[in-house]
């Protein structure tokens, strides 16, 4: 796995609205794999904060906790961002 892929998995894991299932589809990492990667790559306190947030009722890291339907894995604005600027609409 490349450093860029590792960074992307960590970024997706930090995002509350990105479910573990999306990480599984894109990278083949199960929830347990993501947890072990986060434990290895993050500082202890950062990992503990992340786990606490994921395990609380606030996080929607599991599809069964989501109330909305997921049919995409990217932000709707993502396609209109170019050269670090949001294109005129």
Give residue limits of the domains in the chain.
3-86
Phi, psi of 88 (to 5 degrees): -65, 145
Please determine, for residue 17, whether its predicted confidence score (pLDDT) is greater than 90.
Answer: no
Res 81: pLDDT: 47
Find the mean pLDDT for residues 24-38.
Answer: 92
Find the mean pLDDT for residues 83-88.
Answer: 49
**Residue 18 binned pLDDT confidence (cut-offs 50, 70, 90):** confident
Instruction: Please tell me the pTM assigned to this model.
Output: 0.65
Res 55: pLDDT: 81
């Amino acid at each position: 796995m490349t450093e860029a892929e590792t960074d992307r998995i960590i970024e997706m894991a930090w995002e509350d609205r990105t479910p573990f299932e999306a990480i599984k589809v894109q990278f083949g990492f199960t929830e347990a794999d993501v947890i072990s990667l986060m434990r290895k790559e993050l500082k202890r306190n950062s990992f503990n904060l992340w786990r606490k947030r994921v395990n609380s009722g606030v996080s929607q890291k599991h599809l069964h906790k989501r109330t909305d339907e997921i049919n995409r894995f990217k932000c709707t604005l993502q396609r209109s961002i170019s050269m670090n600027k949001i294109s005129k609409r």
